[in-house]
Structure 1
Amino acid sequence: MKKTTSFYLMHLGLCMTFLFLPYAFTSSGGIFSFPNLSSNGHDRIYFLIYFLLLLFFYFNYYYLIPKFYFAQKQLFYGFILIIFLMFFLGISSFFDGADHNFLDSGKQIPPVEQGSPEVADGFNPNQNFNFRKERPPKMDSFDESHAPPTQYNHTILVYLIGVISSLFLAIKNRLEKVEKDKMKSEISFLKAQINPHFLFNTLNSIYALAIKKSDKTADAVVQLSELMRYIITNANDDVIALEKEINYINNFIELQKTRLGNTVTIDYSMQGATFGKAITPLILISFIENAFKHGVNPNENSKIGIRITIVGDYLTLFVSNYKVDNLESDSGIGLQNTIERLSLLYPKNHVLTIDDNPDNYTINLTLKVG
């Protein structure tokens, strides 16, 4: 899946926020102090450590977790995390030491020359004297008791937060991917059941015409070819233009009119604009086909009503049929599969009402297509 511009901008904003997090609160009481990276070695230390931790976050998320944690190598993964933690603590200690802080570009104390006014009588400049004692102690340096520096605590805390958050996001995304793959597998299985079901019923319709030696048999074959072309070309797409689905329904209804002739009254209407709308293929046809399967008997008063209305971003399908005696034995797998697909693909974007009474069968489906 291609990453969008908003995705990269979001990550850039999060990275900038993370890098400037140590400067959110200042000792002077201000809310934010912009880091002085040109002359303040302390600011540069924080910036360097946080920058390296940020790089490790993405390295851990995109490489270490998939390579080791998800590959059932958790023990080795934990060992790697410990190695990296020691690495970051070593860097913190190295750059925080006064003798190694080459990041600090502050003024160095010049050497004392012999004969200078600063040299008093009886004072040996070579004696062991620390000229840096007057320099204000840094908060993040080792004190005389050799206690761990504050920078250690910051590094450990941020490192652990980065590891835990990257693990949480990686596991969450993996679960979502597994759920999405499972849903796609279920939908593919349902489609595999629906497509032969359509073909079987449509061939039965053409067979009935051939038995009657109807002149409309050739037209029915052409209409069937249009139906099959649609199934082969578009049925495996996630979404298609609504216009194509409506055209498929039109061909199906015309095929039924050709087969049934005057034995059934078909009241079909479609209102609204299809331009710019999209829908999952074959999500409507099962309700219409169900009406023809169970609402047609040449020896009874058969009537089918089909109404499609598009208002704004919503499509409403209304289908009704009289209940008649039907010799076909069918488990209703097409209709049941469509109901399952609706729950998977439109969990919060559809409303389906089914009214099943002794005289007629009615469905009313409202679906978001915009």
Structure 2
Amino acid sequence: MKKKIPFYAWHILVCITFMLLPYAFTSTGSVFNLPNLSHNGHDRIYFLIYFLLLLFFYFNYYYLIPKFYFSHKMVSYFGIIVVFLLFFLWISTYFDHPERNFLDFGKRMPLHNKMPHSFPPNFDKRGGPPTQYSHTILVYLIGVISSLLFAINNQLRKVEKEKMQSELSFLKAQINPHFLFNTLNSIYALAIKKSDKTADAVVQLSELMRYIITNANDDVISLDKEINYINNFVELQKTRLGNTVNINYKVEGNQYGKCITPLILISFIENAFKHGVNPNQDSEIKIHINIEQENLILFVSNNKVKSSPSESGIGLQNTIERLTHLYPDTHDLTIDDNPETYNVTLKIKVAC
């Protein structure tokens, strides 16, 4: 509702400005005069024509363009536009007579003295300024063209938004199975060892999957839920790896009252466990999350160890693409890939 109030206020302001436009420069030399509808015939006709043009602008924008133009019924659309143009030219001529002007609050001519009229209209080129066809045509065409431009621009933005949402849904669909596959491999390794921690790992996995099913499709979630999800993931990795790797994990700062896109951090952490763990080598993984006011800083570092060849990180690449889509100007990602270590620093805005 808060977003609609400025929208309506802007439209009301534009409508009032448009209605007062004919009176901005007057023949008296003053910059602006309010319309005198009770005594000035030209003001009354200007007011009527501009009011009808304003109504037609919205009628064209909300009905004619979607119904005909975007439905590729071009002949019908431009035919209607021509008909309405003739109508406005007729209106500007027909009501430029006191006996026909229903806005005339002054003395009316007797009914028997009223001039007969016919249709199609007989355009009187001797009329005053309101009957100047060039003025009516110019304002009419400006209204038609501007409504077309606004509608086309809005349509393009809508298509772009739908395309982005489709891309993000595709990226999420890739991340979730990828993560599940890796986690099931971890539990499988525990089961092979007949570890007593297998049951705990299954419970931790169920918590992770509950989060994915419940929150992964949301646009944003509270930051504390995402942090809790990462906590469960790290604990699951500790259960699986035991003492074979040194895991330095800490979270600092206030994580409440802040928002973030779900699953935007986990890929960097998952990548560290995927490429930085080898039981036969000294392995160390650092995961530091620091929340500072409106920003979150994630630092992930792992030693490069010898491991069996694996596919490139699908989840990591997709996360980078999601960051580009969702946080184009509110994130800073630095990846330091050197021979000994792989370091990631991500600064991202988490204000709701």
TM-score (norm 2): 0.92
The whole-number CA distance in structure 2 between the counterparts of 1:284 and 1:109 is 80
CA distance in 1, matches of 2:310, 2:109: 100
Distance in 2 separating the partners of 1:185 and 1:76: 34
Structure 2 CA distance for aligned equivalents of residues 359 and 102 of structure 1:
87
C-alpha contact (below 8 Å) 2:99/2:108 kept by paired residues:
no
Describe the SS at the equivalent of 2:166.
Answer: helix
CA distance in 1, matches of 2:129, 2:166: 55
What pairs up with 1:74-153 in 2 under 5 angstroms?
Answer: 74-107=74-107, 142-143=125-126, 150-153=131-134
Check whether the contact 1:295–1:303 (CA below 8 A) recurs between aligned residues: yes
Q: Please, which runs of 5 or more residues in structure 1 have no aligned partner?
A: 111-139
Deviation for aligned residue 1:351: 1.0
The answer on whether the counterparts of 1:68 and 1:77 sit within 8 Å (CA) in structure 2 is: yes
How many angstroms does 1:109 deviate by?
8.5
User: What's the counterpart of residue 312 of structure 1?
Assistant: 293
- The correspondence for 2:203, drawn from 195, 219, 222, is 222
Correspondence 1:291-330 to 2 at 5 A: 291-327=272-308, 329-330=310-311
The answer to whether the Cα contact below 8 Å between 2:205 and 2:236 also exists between their aligned partners in 1 is yes
Is the alpha carbon distance of 1:346 and 1:354 closer, same or farther for their aligned partners in structure 2, counting shifts above 3 Å?
same
CA distance in 2, matches of 1:292, 1:18: 63
Contact 2:65-2:151 at 8 Å conserved across structures: yes
Amino acid at match of 1:43: D
Matched with 1:28 is 28
For 1:1-370, list aligned pairs within 5 A: 4-107=4-107, 142-143=125-126, 150-327=131-308, 329-370=310-351
Amino acid at match of 1:333: I
Structure of greater Rg: 1
Between the aligned partners of 1:243 and 1:6, the Cα distance in structure 2 is 32
Q: Distance between the aligned counterparts of 1:254 and 1:344, measured in 2? A: 30
Name the CA distance, whole Å, in 2 between partners of 1:160 and 1:59: 14
CA contact (8 A) 2:276 2:283 kept: yes
Q: 1:67-91 deviations in whole A, cap 9, x for unaligned?
A: 1111111121111100010111111
Q: What per-residue deviation string (whole Å, max 9, x for no partner) do you get for residues 264-316 of structure 1? A: 01111111112221111101000000000000011100000011111121111
Q: Percent identity?
A: 72
Show the counterpart of 1:134: none
Q: 34-43 or 51-60, which moves further after superposition?
A: 34-43
Deviation at 1:262, TM superposition (A): 0.7
Q: Deviation at 1:100? A: 2.5
Deviation at 1:98, TM superposition (A): 4.6
Deviation at residue 334 of structure 1 after TM alignment = 0.9
Alignment partners' CA distance in 1, 2:342 and 2:49: 69
CA distance in 2 between counterparts of 1:360 and 1:181 reads 39
1:167 Cα deviation (Å)? 0.4
Shift of 1:261: 0.8
Give the distance between the partners of 1:189 and 1:267, measured in 2 at CA: 33
The alpha-carbon deviation at position 61 of structure 1 amounts to 0.5
Tell me the matched-pair count.
339
Deviation at residue 158 of structure 1 after TM alignment: 1.0
Within 2, Cα distance between the matches of 1:108 and 1:170? 43
Residue 97 of structure 1 contacts residue 141 of structure 1 at CA under 8 Å; is this kept in 2? no
How has the CA–CA distance of structure 1 residues 148 and 21 changed in structure 2, closer, same or farther, with 3 Å as cutoff? closer
RMSD: 2.0
Kept after mapping to 2: 8 A contact 1:42/1:104: no
- SS of the aligned residue for 2:219 comes to coil
What residue identity is the alignment partner of 1:16?
I
1:300 is aligned with what amino acid? Answer: Q
Moved more, 22-31 or 86-95: 22-31
TM-aligned CA deviation for residue 152 of structure 1 = 2.3
1:244 aligned partner, one-letter code: K
Q: Which residue of 2 aligns with 1:136?
A: none
How high is the TM-score relative to the length of structure 1? 0.87
State which drifts further: 296-305 or 28-37: 28-37
SS in 2 for 1:367: strand
Q: Is the 8 A contact 2:334 2:345 kept in 1?
A: yes
